Amino acid sequence: MINWNLCDTVLLDMDGTLLDLNFDNHFWCEFVPLKYAERNKLSLMKAKQILQPKFKQMEGKLEWYCLDYWTQVLELDIAGLKTEIAELITVLPHVVEFLERLKDAKKQVFLVTNAHQDSLNLKMEKTCLQPFFDAIICSHNFGAAKENLAFWTQLQQQYSFDKQRTLMIDDSLAVLDTAKRFGITYLITISKPDSKKPVKMDTYYPAIKDFSELLIE
């Protein structure tokens, strides 16, 4: 799928790419509505009806990924709630082996995430993946989500990489679309970002089910 001789830099998303998206899906679709219902003395169904349009409205925007924003809007300690179910944070199959192969091949590897810093810290603490990355880039530090071209412009200004010799792997088609517009040559998506859900079929990018398909020999 990739000619590794033509690729020097690898940009990796975190949630749904390296880490099982089941944690985030369960957190936002079930756990947060449950806590919101308890706080506001609502049924779980009513809480979901209230929260779903609030979430939908912010999709793709930096606020969607911002724990401080949702803490204020929902009047819940979102970062604290994440720690309550942190045991659900898991690494997807063959990720560590893939990262080890990249390191052995001396590729430049960046973790590029929309995750809020508190969420990022929690997940790195649970998974211990930090040593594999030459840099960990959080979109909140640029003031723009990965769905925004401004993110990519700032990324290249701050970190030196050749767009034509760079691979981006992300489970979000919207992010890959923006990376393509920016000029990233190699784009791959994840067809099974959530271990509890079926394989996604609606992708127009090359897709892998897990990282065993991309291991450098």
User: Using one digit for the tens of pLDDT, what is the confidence trace for 142-164?
Assistant: 999 999 999 999 999 999 899 99
Query: Is 80 exceeded by the pLDDT of residue 75?
Result: yes
* Span 11-39, pLDDT tens digits: 999 999 999 999 999 999 999 999 999 99
Longest dimension (CA), the chain: 59
Give the percent of the chain with pLDDT over 90.
91
Q: CA-CA distance, 20 to 93, in Å (whole number)?
A: 9
How far is residue 53's CA from residue 90's CA, in Å, rounded to a whole number? 28
Cβ partners under 8 Å of residue 53, min gap 6: none
Q: What is the pTM of this model?
A: 0.94
Cβ(82)–Cβ(124) below 8 Å: no
Residue-level pLDDT at 141:
92
Per DSSP, 65 falls in state G
Position of tokens 């790419």?
A: 17
- Residue 56, classed as helix, strand or coil, is helix
Helix ranges (DSSP H) in 3-87: 22-26, 32-40, 44-58, 67-74, 78-84
Residue 207 to residues 40, 172, 193: CA-CA distances in angstroms?
42, 11, 11
Q: How far apart are CA 142 and CA 7, in angstroms?
A: 25
Structure tokens at 201: 């079929």
Structural domains of the chain, ranges and CATH numbers in brackets? 4-20+90-214 (3.40.50.1000), 23-87 (no CATH)
